Amino acid sequence: MIGLLVATVILPQLLPNDDGDAITYTEFIEQITDGNVESITINNGTAAISGEFSDGTKFRTIGGGDRGMSEADERLARELGVKIDFDMPSNNWLLSILGLMLPVMLIIGFFVWLQRRAQGQMGGVMSIGKSKAKTYDADKPNTTFADIAGYEGVKTEINEVVDFLRMPERFKEIGARIPKGILLVGPPGTGKTLFARAVAGEAGVGFLSVTGSDFMEMFVGVGASRVRDLFQQARRMGKAIIFIDEIDSIGRKRGAGLGGGHDEREQTLNQMLSEMDGFETSEGIVILAATNRPDILDPALLRPGRFDRQIVVPLPEFEERRAILEVHSRDKRIGSDVDLETISRATPGMAGADLANLVNEAALIAVRRGSKEIQRVDFENARDRVVLGASRESLILSSEEKKATAYHEGGHALLSTVLPHGDPLHKVTILPRGMALGVTWSLPQERHTYSKEFFEDTICKAMGGRVAEKLVFGHLNSGAANDLEQATGIARRMVREWGMSDRVGPMAWAGQQAVFLGEDLMSSQREYSDDTAKLLDEEIARILNEQEHRAMDLLTEHRRGLELIAEALLDQETIDGPEVARLIQKAMAETGQGDVELFMNVLGTPE
């Protein structure tokens, strides 16, 4: 309406004017006196004068002509035979209507806006029980198995679901029944959600994605209503995959909450159990769920007929890490000195999300460094930042603190090198990183089981910093707090859980864990006598004291090597594992202790 009004007012002024040449009122009177004017027209509304000359040319007056003609001038024109007409222009009907209708329309529009706003609020209340699942287009899958590097075993297991949704008749002919539900279990960042999207992309069916928290609402019964709506939506799609991420938020064990159960969560879980029993596999609906806490799920949710199968998505192995790094490096400008195989060997324990973050962090460091490509040093700095923490360049240590840190980290580094059963030493630095004033970094190897000797060497290495300060300076400080916490935790689990104490024997007692359920609180109560508790404490203390004495003996034996390592750290601030081994060998040659190369546990050198 506003645009129409503006066009009506402005456009007539912009259109070409055919009223003729503009002349002044004085020129107009002169033309009348000379007898050159044939006729004139006076506008009664604006008093504007226009007319036509004897030769047919049109004209209009400007200036004084907007006041009309005086009686003398009008009488003169009539005497000279000029034809005079008076014009009364009609009003613009469109402008008149707009002037009347505009206030009315504004009032009507205001009431319409109020009504729609009220309807929207009521609609939000009425649709609170609707499912919040996101629907993805089956014809345009964004993710397939080709986008997932490694995990061939997981792909093989989950590929049965794809085959069933593509060709269900093959399973019907032989009488096989596809699992109704598949639970993806694994640590965070391993790609469980990515696998669910890839299944939908490979099968070419509808994909409904929802998280467990989407079912929770302040009103009791809303979660159950959303579950019903979700399954109805899937049935309307024919063949579909329902993916529930973080299912542990609604699938926890019922009746075990502290202070009474959460009624809304339990009603939601009950409705989900009922819906999963209410459809047959022939309907073509498969439920995928993901969690990293399968131990807290309700047993009724995991029984056959509901989530029949659990697929473990573990942390990637060496080959899988290399493939994941290649995927995330596709769109990056990688330097020629970068070896992804070396990086994958140096990143054990990292999930896919960690590796993606590592590559991105290396790219950021390369940009910050001013380089046009990502080089090996960028990946090393990115790995140090991710694993050890950001360097605190603003932290300035005094000379005494720096020397104490050098001997502390030197003790860790020396024991990491001479002890045969631990992880090999990679790097040691006295540059503050994260919350630590210095870091000794050993690269974890690909292990799935750990020996008693490995844990003993790990505790001994943890004692190395504390013992080195005591050996050199004769006193202790608070810098070994984290080392003691790590050593005590390992010793406690050796005695209480892993049966690595001869006096305690083959008994396992549950460790103190966070209370998530009421039964956890009950099970966390002590289940053994005071005598057993005293025995456990004595064995934990024995292991810690033995390894501290062992560390003291080794550091005393290699005192010269400790001094060389500390001097190198004070000079260079960061040295690698092979350099530590070289310094120890140099010290042993000086003291006449012989060659200990066969006992060096350093990455890149023979053990």
| DSSP annotation of 294 | G
Burial tier of 237 (Cβ tally within 10 Å: 0-12, 13-18, 19+): middle
**Backbone phi, psi, residue 596, to 5°:** -120, 30
- State how far the Cα of 121 lies from the Cα of 117, in Å rounded to an integer: 6
Residues 548 and 556 sit within 8 Å (Cβ to Cβ)? no
Catalytic residues: 409
List 429's β-bridge partners, or say none. 439, 574
User: Which DSSP string corresponds to 549-575?
Assistant: HHHHHHHHHTHHHHHHHHHHHHHHSEE
Q: Of all helices (H) and strands (E), which one includes residue 77?
A: helix 71-79
- State how far the Cα of 417 lies from the Cα of 583, in Å rounded to an integer: 11
Task: Note the maximum CA span of the chain.
Answer: 143
User: Which DSSP string corresponds to 100-135?
Assistant: HHHHHHHHHHHHHHHHHHHHHHHHHHHTTTS--PEE
CA angle (472, 476, 480) in 5-degree steps: 105
| DSSP annotation of 146 | G
Tokens of 19: 């009223």
- State how far the Cα of 457 lies from the Cα of 564, in Å rounded to an integer: 22
Query: Distance between alpha carbon 329 and the CA centroid of its chain, in Å?
Result: 18
User: Which DSSP string corresponds to 489-514?
Assistant: HHHHHHHHTS---TTT-S--------
Tokens of 528: 């053994």
| DSSP annotation of 423 | P
Residues 468 and 559 sit within 8 Å (Cβ to Cβ)? no
List 594's β-bridge partners, or say none. none
- Number of helical (H) and strand (E) elements in the chain, helices listed first: 21, 14
Give the 3-state secondary structure of residue 493: helix
Strands 574-576 and 425-429: antiparallel
Q: What are the contacts of 483-487 at 24+ separation with CB within 8 A? A: 483/412, 486/462, 487/458, 487/459, 487/462, 487/463, 487/544, 487/547
